[in-house]
Amino acid sequence: MADAFSLREVLAAFQTCVTERREVLLGPYLSGWRGLIRFLHSLGAIFSFISKDAVAKVQIMENYCGGEQRDKYVSLQSMVEYELANGLVGVQKRSGGPDSGCRTVLRLHRALRWLQLFLEGLRTGREDSRTSVICTDSYNASLATYHPWVVRKAATVAFCALPPRNAFLEIMNVGTAEEAVAMLGEALPYICDVYGITQELFAQHKLLDLP
Ligand code: 1PX
């Protein structure tokens, strides 16, 4: 039921991502993204240029996860190992060939850093702080570095349409604003964990600048 949709369940996906062996499972990682995109969708058409790109990237990954080599796409670790061993990761300019899982996940990974900063900003923000300012600051400190001027401009304009902090916390559907803040406090360490493991994995294999 669309109405019962709560951000608590969405963020919980990032908790189930990490295995005991500190591997990041692609299944829950992508379902977390699907939920976030659904939430973004509910914020209005002004964000559709963002959700379109995010959907395209999640779709690429879901195709790998359901494709012939699906057993290689169980975790980020198995994906990196498989794609590197088989020369599937283009380190030069984009060749026009299919986008690798590694370069695609890298885009989502950078966006996860934005999410982490944004949710932390929301959680610790004052009651009267503006969501658009929190969002712009988080974006400028993360994703914006990788985007051309025109994308940065469009994103910044769209952020102005975000509802005020407390209204935003309420549409997360977790209960009152205070309850949403508490939920964010519980969920954020898991998102940080997923981010940290991925960052280390990609750094180790020199994959942080994939075109
Ligand atoms: C409680 C908070 C929940 C909020 C949920 C929001 C979900 C946001 C999902 C955003 C995913 C963005 C993925 C962007 C990936 C990317 O960087 N793509 C660029 C590079 O791709 P390429 O294949 O060319 O190398 C691409 O150029 C992106 C274009 C679209 C614009 C991306 C702007 C990203 C702004 C992220 C902030 C979302 C603001 C949501 C407001 C709540």
pLDDT for the residue numbered 5:
75
Residues 6 or more apart whose CB falls under 8 angstroms from that of 160 comprise 132
Quick: pLDDT tens for 90-110: 877 666 789 999 999 999 999
Distance 101 CA to ligand 1 centre (A): 17
**Ligand 1 pocket: which of 40, 142, 159 to mutate (most atoms within 8 A of CB):** 40
ipTM of the complex: 0.98
- d(CA 136, CA 142) in angstroms, rounded, equals 10
Torsion angle defined by CA atoms of residues 136, 43, 191 and 188, in that order, rounded to the nearest 10 degrees: 80
Ligand 1 contacts (CB < 6 A) are 7, 36-37, 39-40, 47, 49-50, 53-54, 107, 110-111, 114, 135, 139, 143, 146-147, 151, 155, 162, 172
* Mean residue pLDDT across the chain: 95
- d(CA 90, CA 211) in angstroms, rounded, equals 8
pLDDT for the residue numbered 96:
74
Kindly list the structural domains of the chain, giving each domain's residue range(s) and its CATH number in brackets, ordered by start.
2-204 (1.10.3520.10)
pLDDT for the residue numbered 95:
66
Quick: pLDDT tens for 19-76: 999 999 999 999 999 999 999 999 999 999 999 999 999 999 999 999 999 999 999 9
Which two structure tokens, joined as six digits, stand for 7?
């951000």
Q: Do residues 72 and 168 touch, judged by C-beta distance below 8 A?
A: no
**Closest among 190, 143, 172 to 25, alpha carbons compared:** 190
Helices of type H across 5-124: 7-16, 26-42, 48-66, 76-85, 101-124
